[in-house]
Structure 1
Amino acid sequence: MHVMGGGDVGGAKTQIMNTVTGLARRNEVMLISFRAGPFADEARERGIDVRVIERHNPFRAARAMRDLVDQFRPDIIHCHGGRANLMGAMVRRMRRVPVLTTVHSDYKLDYLGNPFKQHTFGAANAVALRFLDFYQPVADRMARTLIERGFDPERIVKIYNGMDFHRPEGEFDRAQYLKENYGAEIEDGDVLCGIAARLTAVKDIATTVRAFAAALQDAPQLRLFIAGEGEDEEMLKKLCAQLNVTNRVTFCGWVSPVEPFFRAMDINLLSSVSETFPYSILEGVCAGCATICSDVGGMPELIDTGENGYIFPVGDYKKLSEYMVRLANDAELRQTFAQALYEKASHNFSKDKLCERQEANYRHLLARFHRPKNERESIVICGAYGRGNAGDDAILEAIVQEMRALAPERTICVMSRRPQETRLTYRTGAVYTFNIFSILRRFRRAALYINGGGTLMQDVTSTRSIWYYCYTLRAAKKRGCKVMMYGCGIGPINRAGNRKMAAKTIQGSVDRITLRDENSRQELARMGVTRPDIRVSADPTIILDAAPYEVVSLAMEQSGIDPSGRYIGFGLRNWKGLDAALPAIAAAADYAYEKHGLTPVFVPIEFPSDLTPAERVGALLHCPWYAVRTRQPIEVTIGILARMKTVVGIRLHSLMFSAGQGVPVVGMSYDIKVDSFLKYIGSSTCLQLREVRVDELCGLIDKCLSGALDEEVRRNAKLLREREHENVRGAAILLGIENEKEEAAE
């Protein structure tokens, strides 16, 4: 059952219509509208069962909707917009049916510029949203906004707008169309920019007008056509007059149908302050326009700047103007962008894709909603998370990714030092690492407790940490969880009391252990641990892929690094022995530059602390060098390391990320875990940090760059990925999923 206000216009109207008509092919669909009019009439003409409830009293309207729910008996109620959300929240209290709402726009900005509606209709919608079961934002950025406002990430599923991407056929005389419909005379050589949007504050058309006025200085052939109506119309006309561009700007009013409007344009513009996944962009793509839009909603997921269009910062009319000039003066670039974006959009954002995703979301949410209340269903993950270390964060990302693929209906809760940041980044539940009472409550509902990865069982950094991790293992087992240590390392555990406690805990409380190196297995054997099922696998981060090429290139450019250059990477950290090794590291970096033409690039794994040793080495260098000075997503960090010809690392994960991408590495070991990893992959390019000498380091760099190790490095990268699967298999066995698959096969 889809529920809507009935006065929906623009992208929301298109998305609802595409969804209900697409779903109706394979499902029973009822559409409830709280207003008679064109939308309800059009849906009825398309064969949809439409029921109109025209009640001004919300309680009467809710009762009427409840009666239809009893009659239709929907599996799920799907709301669109403020009034529908309010009615859905009221009916939800009367009937046990899951209620989902699609968040088409930022509900706090829906009535921007109209304080009365903002504090009445907007406030009612904001309250109603809190009483619904699930939320479906039309872009990843909107999902992030909801999480920041306290919505549960486990109750949020994304959807992307979709449309029919059949290109219009036949001849089209745009000059005639524009003259007959809008009285606009265009000349040969004119480049036409169009924007189709409500003329309201949230659409920020003023930025488009200012950018257009500036662009005319370098591209006088530009024309601007504004399609839409709204309260800002008079203000925008006055702005055009002030900027002396009135004769080059045409206000078209409300345009319907919009297809010929976009067929007439060369460039499609969007300058909104807030959007989710605007249909006006997709409609322009379908018509063959080149695209420039503000950095809002899901636009970065559609447009790859510089590859198939341009994205500019919200409100930055100078950057918008620059892009308009660039496209106005290059017809070939306009065509290239338009074709590339059409190919991407038609493949990933079609109407059929929309319906496939919507049905998949329904299945997922229904499974979640109807799961028995007393069933253990969640997965709790513990590790050194939320501390700003890219290696630990990568471990968490890999485990979450694997658990979602393995058991998508199960919820995930992470024990984190920064739970809010974890919720935003990984879209999981999260509790503060040391909120014991909350953690114990989570254990009572959890099917599986994952401890790892990383080297948590060690007492080099602190005795308190090993005590804590052992306590969580015992507490999870005592409360009925299956317990797994996941892709982890063991040791060193130096104190006799700690070794005895850890051995007793692991022996009695852990069901399965997967280890990232053979040394860890030997350490467990020395501790007398025999009972859990122990397998050697690989670090979970091996499964992570680099970010797309263009994204990595942009990140490098922002750090002043030419993406097409030749580089040697360094992954350093502060540790005992580094002071003595600094001159040798700097000399080796200079050597790589002089002999091999490789410029040093310092890539921090723990930000910003790893920049300090980078600066110290940089101060000793005689050659140019770069450092990545801003915190990057894990996939971007991996992508940057993948661009290096070789990587010299103290940080374990700088070596793991690089080896996983097939880049030869030189390790400077400060800890047994570095030796263990390099030994595990069969690498001979390792020095002890306290014994680093420049001649040996330069010799290992030569060896990595000679090509002699290339085959070995590729083989090791493949081997690590194959071995890592043992982690997932172990979790599947503990959750009973592996047994279910075997039974199904039989």
Structure 2
Amino acid sequence: MKVLHLISGGDTGGAKTHVHTLLAGLTPRIQVKMVCFTEGPFTQEARALGIDTEVIPGRNFFANLKKLSHMVQEEGFDLIHSHGARGNMMAAFLSKRTGLPTVSTVHSDYRLDYLGRPLSRLTYGTINTLALRKLDYRIGVSDAMVDLLISRKFDPERLFSIYNGLDFTPRTPAMNRAEYLRSVGLEADETCVVAGIAARLNPVKDIATLIRGFAKAHRAFPALRLLIAGDGEEMANLKQLAADLGVAKAVCFAGWISDTDSFYNALDINTLTSISETFPYALTEGARAGLPTISSKVGGVSYLIDHGSNGFLFPPGEDQALADHLLTLARDPDLRKTMGQRLYEKAKKEFSIEATVQRQLEIYDSILRYEKNGRDRVVICGAYGRGNAGDDAILLAILTELRSIDPDLSFQVFSRNPMETRQTYRVNAFYTFHIWKAIYYFKRAKFFINGGGSLMQDVTSYRSLWFYLWTLATAKHYGCPVIMYGCGIGPIRNNGNRARAARVMNRSVDSITLRDPDSLKELEVLGVTEPKIALSADTTVSLPPASPDIIDGILDSRGIPANGNYIGFILRPWPGFEEKTKDIAAAADYVYETYGLTPVFFPIEPRLDVAAAQRVIHWMNAPHYILTEAYTAAQTIGILSRMKVVTSMRLHGLIFAAGQGVPLVGIVYDQKVSSFLSYIGQDLYEDLNRLTADKLKSLIDGAVSRGKNPALLSESVEKLRRMDEVNRKVLEEYAAQKKNPAE
């Protein structure tokens, strides 16, 4: 593999470090050549690192383009990789001449690159915006940058993410802490707690918020100090702000520094206050030094900083939140040590140079495969994009399975919130009821998946059933193989709907995998015999939980002790639920009084479930917690894994908890709840309309007792995972088939 990199050659800061580090790491692995358009420190340092570097000077764009075209033809490059406005513009024209695929690394928000420089923003900024649209692929320096590009209508399946890697080889600072602080002029003794930042002093870095937050914290903790390393146009204004706030003696402006090892060694707390970032080196530099970090929640920061676990996040510009976090860390040296160690371990594992270089090679391999072989498309339809963690977990499970089978598949997903689906799952998505787009993609798809859950039912509405039947029939009409995947069937109560559903499934569906035996019986009663039918499991049973540190951070940030003893309640509004709120509340109080399990109310679909929980809490006396936010599938599973018992109306609350071996109690509002529990050999459930406080207490007693015999629970978990293999085998069969001839 031979890759040509194009960059102006005048770059500084994070972009310079990223390119130098990356190309130095790639050079021993593949053939790499970098072409710059300016001679200077950037190119000199690149050559010193052993990077094959050539400068094509001059401002004659078309002459340079001609030279580059000859170079590409003579030297046999496979791929063009550009960085920055000038490199991107050249790559866009060069691709037209040579036919080579092009990829650009987007190091920062191109709309903010020239903030405060209107002429440069108008010229270079416009050029870069146009050039990025013309290139074939883009790499965002962080997943957050990829999200930003998706929000600006770039194709999510032509986007990749990468992170700035750092060398975690241990280093010995040139100066110890005391020596360094004296050298920069900061008055601080061994009792002081030093917070710091290394950044350009320009508006995007928002150092003013850092100084304001620091001033508030300093009033409550006078031993706090602030060390600012960097230079820029905001220096004078920031010094004046520190003086106006009365903290000039506690704040040191060190200017531009080269000895970063001594700088970070002198700190107790690392900070970042930017209003826009991709994934700054200041974070990984601080992580290498084992420093807890307080950062604005921007760009890819949250992919490294797990709030409450290895650092703190705050909304950009919120100086009071920053001050609160500074005080928390300043007052607790043990917390600083614990958070710093956690951050070091995560950064070393996931954000090293080796990880970055390997990721870049994987991106190159993917691009070249796509260009050579093309990409087969799969269309997926379900109840996605509605804020329901269970339904969205189904989509995640399907995509995870398909990508493990064939990483080069392309996807089009029906979604009620297409932008959210694109950003969350890195797939193309269109609005659920955009029928012309659906038809367009059916004509070009390798196969169609009707994706899990209880889609074949008419309890919620007739129209939803009719719509899903229409997708089955239309996909088949246009020659697209159809799979109903990990689904539940029924209840379908209307006779006309039952006849219509049976007719469509017999005529249009090729394979059906079912998540419970009751659904299999329902198909038999309906007379559905033509598709291949197999009993399997819900597709989400094999999804893994988030890491323990992430779950600790989520719980701690909500004031919930991470190692407490809890019972989880997952409730939802349903006809008859209101009359049972006192009974559920009485059972929750009983569990706390009898077993010392604190109730935690948890939402699967927050817009509905939080209100249901609050109705129960109104009648309670026991202490409790309520979570009100939407969580990812991994976070949801991780939180439920901390429960000693889970009592749930929501099916996916039970499935997620079952996958972690947590004892279950089901409140049955729909037959799918009892079907699932019976399927895995769990009998602790009761219909909502027959539920009483005494009955629920008795069921929870049984679950607590069952928790003392984990072997029984592990058998249920293993059964689920074995049955889920049926789903995978069906996908493997269809993924291996030849592409739809209509393509």
Give the alignment's TM-score, normalised by structure 1. Answer: 0.92
> Is the partner of 1:136 in helix, strand or coil?
strand
Corresponding residue of 1:590 = 589
Structure 1 residues 582-621: Cα deviation after superposition (integer angstroms, max 9, x where no partner) = 4433333333233233333332322322234333333333
Structure 1 residues 650-696: Cα deviation after superposition (integer angstroms, max 9, x where no partner) = 22222222222212222222322222111111111122222223333
Structure 1 residues 608-640: Cα deviation after superposition (integer angstroms, max 9, x where no partner) = 222343333333334344432333333333333
Task: Please tell me the root mean square deviation across aligned C-alpha atoms, in Å.
Answer: 2.6
Kindly indicate whether the alpha-carbon contact (under 8 Å) linking 2:205 and 2:275 is maintained by their aligned counterparts in 1.
yes
The 5 A counterparts of 1:57-206 are 57-169=60-172, 172-176=175-179, 182=184, 187-206=189-208
* CA distance in 1 between partners of 2:517 and 2:669 (Å): 18
Using the TM superposition, name which of 628-637 and 672-681 deviates more: 628-637
Using the TM superposition, name which of 113-122 and 211-220 deviates more: 211-220
Using the TM superposition, name which of 307-316 and 276-285 deviates more: 307-316
Corresponding residue of 1:460 = 459
* CA distance in 1 between partners of 2:186 and 2:612 (Å): 63
Corresponding residue of 1:545 = 544
> Is the partner of 2:448 in helix, strand or coil?
strand
Using the TM superposition, name which of 231-240 and 266-275 deviates more: 266-275
1:357 maps to which of 325, 339, 359: 359
> Is the partner of 1:422 in helix, strand or coil?
helix
- How big is the shift at 1:644? 2.6
Using the TM superposition, name which of 339-348 and 166-175 deviates more: 166-175
* CA distance in 2 between partners of 1:184 and 1:580 (Å): 65
* CA distance in 2 between partners of 1:508 and 1:359 (Å): 46
Corresponding residue of 2:680 = 681
Letter in 2 for 1:363: D
* CA distance in 2 between partners of 1:135 and 1:592 (Å): 53
Letter in 2 for 1:517: D
Kindly indicate whether the alpha-carbon contact (under 8 Å) linking 1:664 and 1:709 is maintained by their aligned counterparts in 2.
no
Corresponding residue of 2:729 = 729
Structure 1 residues 394-443: Cα deviation after superposition (integer angstroms, max 9, x where no partner) = 21122122222222111111111221221122221101111111111111
- How big is the shift at 1:305? 3.7
> Is the partner of 2:200 in helix, strand or coil?
coil
Q: 1:48 to 1:485 in 2, by over 3 A?
A: same
- How big is the shift at 1:202? 0.6
2:25 maps to which of 22, 25, 47: 22
* CA distance in 1 between partners of 2:327 and 2:577 (Å): 51
* CA distance in 2 between partners of 1:627 and 1:613 (Å): 11
Q: 1:237 to 1:221 in 2, by over 3 A?
A: same
* CA distance in 1 between partners of 2:223 and 2:620 (Å): 51
Kindly indicate whether the alpha-carbon contact (under 8 Å) linking 1:175 and 1:185 is maintained by their aligned counterparts in 2.
no
Kindly indicate whether the alpha-carbon contact (under 8 Å) linking 1:168 and 1:287 is maintained by their aligned counterparts in 2.
no
- 2:410 is equivalent to residue 407 of structure 1: no
Kindly indicate whether the alpha-carbon contact (under 8 Å) linking 2:387 and 2:630 is maintained by their aligned counterparts in 1.
no
- 2:298 is equivalent to residue 282 of structure 1: no
Using the TM superposition, name which of 167-176 and 695-704 deviates more: 167-176
Give ranges in structure 1 of 5+ residues lacking alignment: 739-746
Using the TM superposition, name which of 672-681 and 587-596 deviates more: 587-596
> Is the partner of 1:93 in helix, strand or coil?
helix
Corresponding residue of 1:523 = 522
* CA distance in 2 between partners of 1:424 and 1:64 (Å): 39
Give the alignment's TM-score, normalised by structure 2. Answer: 0.92
Kindly indicate whether the alpha-carbon contact (under 8 Å) linking 2:8 and 2:37 is maintained by their aligned counterparts in 1.
yes
* CA distance in 2 between partners of 1:338 and 1:655 (Å): 36
- How big is the shift at 1:276? 1.3
Letter in 1 for 2:234: D
* CA distance in 2 between partners of 1:379 and 1:108 (Å): 34
The 5 A counterparts of 1:502-651 are 502-556=501-555, 561-651=560-650
- How big is the shift at 1:178? 5.8
Corresponding residue of 1:347 = 349
- How big is the shift at 1:167? 1.6
> Is the partner of 1:507 in helix, strand or coil?
helix
* CA distance in 1 between partners of 2:292 and 2:649 (Å): 46
- How big is the shift at 1:127? 1.9
- How big is the shift at 1:218? 4.3
* CA distance in 2 between partners of 1:624 and 1:183 (Å): 51
> Is the partner of 1:217 in helix, strand or coil?
helix
Q: 1:35 to 1:320 in 2, by over 3 A?
A: same
1:320 maps to which of 298, 322, 325: 322
Letter in 2 for 1:34: F
Letter in 2 for 1:298: G
Q: 1:356 to 1:496 in 2, by over 3 A?
A: same
Identity, in percent, stands at: 47
Using the TM superposition, name which of 381-390 and 64-73 deviates more: 64-73
Structure 1 residues 80-132: Cα deviation after superposition (integer angstroms, max 9, x where no partner) = 11221122222222232111111111111212222222222222212221111
Using the TM superposition, name which of 728-737 and 247-256 deviates more: 247-256
Q: 1:639 to 1:89 in 2, by over 3 A?
A: same
- How big is the shift at 1:151? 1.4
Structure 1 residues 215-235: Cα deviation after superposition (integer angstroms, max 9, x where no partner) = 433444444333222111221
Letter in 1 for 2:718: K
Structure 1 residues 676-726: Cα deviation after superposition (integer angstroms, max 9, x where no partner) = 111111111122222223333222111111236643222212221221122
Q: 1:618 to 1:339 in 2, by over 3 A?
A: closer
Give ranges in structure 2 of 5+ residues lacking alignment: 739-743
* CA distance in 2 between partners of 1:390 and 1:322 (Å): 32
Structure 1 residues 517-565: Cα deviation after superposition (integer angstroms, max 9, x where no partner) = 1121222223333332221111012122333334434444565545444
* CA distance in 2 between partners of 1:601 and 1:169 (Å): 47
